[in-house]
Amino acid sequence: MALSGVQKDRGDLRIHESMDELKTDLADYIAELSDVSVKERGFFAIALSGGSLIGLMGKLCEVPYNKTVDWSKWYIFWADERVVARNHADSNYKLAKDGLLSKVPIVPSHVHSINDSVSAEEAADNYEFVIRQLVKTHVVSVSEINDCPKFDLILLGLGADGHIASLFPNHPALDEREEWVTFITDSPKPPPERITFTLPVINSASNVAVVVTGEGKADALHLAIEEVGPDGSLIPARMVQPTMGKLVWFLDKQAASKLKNSDLNS
Ligand SMILES: O=C1O[C@H](COP(=O)(O)O)[C@@H](O)[C@H](O)[C@H]1O
């Protein structure tokens, strides 16, 4: 059984005994949010990340979720994307398509990947434009406190350096407050060119889930949840603080092994 708890101002922590348990809990959580959004709004606007996340969402392709989820109401976006061709091994779209989207009955026109034939700057501008059109038609809600899109769910991974989406430590993209989608050409993790949701968009979502596994992420997770860095600086994951929405951390025991103060119950 998962241990769960609340860390003051840092959301709900769900720590899982096994990978299988984490995958089932994550699939249940996503399926439930999809049900609620479809009932309340008629759509489910979900933003994915790349990396290990897609494999951890794998149960959604299996019974019962593949039959019970209302896939026809899903609208898919990416919280970050690498600026490479859609069929390139580094593409977050390709990862999600091969691992998830091709295995469930998603409507192809509801899958909003970036334009892969333009520069990173143009891809970011185009992507923001696409999201603006979908906000106008209410497919994506709008935040009550700023003009940002309010995604029903944004799913994030965590890098060992503390990055989320393509927001890396000490990068000026962390300070972007005007744009919804920005670009970088100097990612410390290859490939260098990426687009990414900005912090105001991430923090305007109704729900944000950060999915973190493995001992290699334990230090970053500790800094994201419990402590600021030695110089008082915040890692990007620490800046994920939904203003009105709910934040949940899906963790395995290895990733959670350096948490000290969390108040956990089984
Ligand atoms: O480069 C990226 O890395 C992060 C973390 O990936 P993981 O494999 O360590 O889970 C990912 O969330 C992001 O979308 C991706 O572009």
ipTM: 0.98
Q: Candidates 22, 46, 52: which one to mutate for ligand 1, based on the most atoms within 8 Å of Cβ?
A: 52
Ligand 1 centroid from CA 251, angstroms: 15
What do you get for the CA distance between the two ends of the chain, in Å? 7
Q: What's the confidence (pLDDT) of residue 49?
A: 98
Length of the chain in terms of residues written: 266
Whether residue 72 contacts residue 108, with contact meaning beta carbons closer than 8 Å, is answered with no
Ligand 1 centroid from CA 110, angstroms: 23
- Local confidence band at 231 (pLDDT 50, 70, 90 cut-offs): confident
Asked if pLDDT for residue 232 goes beyond 80, the answer is: no
Which residues' Cβ are closer than 6 Å to ligand 1?
Answer: 49-53, 80, 92, 156-157, 159, 165-166, 189
> Which atom in ligand 1 lies closest to the alpha carbon of residue 187?
1
Strand order in the sheet with 153-156: 74-78, 44-48, 153-156, 207-212, 246-252, 11-16, 3-7, 263-265
> Which atom in ligand 1 lies closest to the alpha carbon of residue 78?
14
Domains contained in the chain, CATH given: 8-251 (3.40.50.1360)
Q: Candidates 163, 167, 168, 212: which one to mutate for ligand 1, based on the most atoms within 8 Å of Cβ?
A: 163
Asked if pLDDT for residue 264 goes beyond 70, the answer is: no
pLDDT mean over 107-124: 98
pTM of the model: 0.97
Asked if pLDDT for residue 69 goes beyond 70, the answer is: yes
Asked if pLDDT for residue 229 goes beyond 80, the answer is: no
- Local confidence band at 230 (pLDDT 50, 70, 90 cut-offs): low
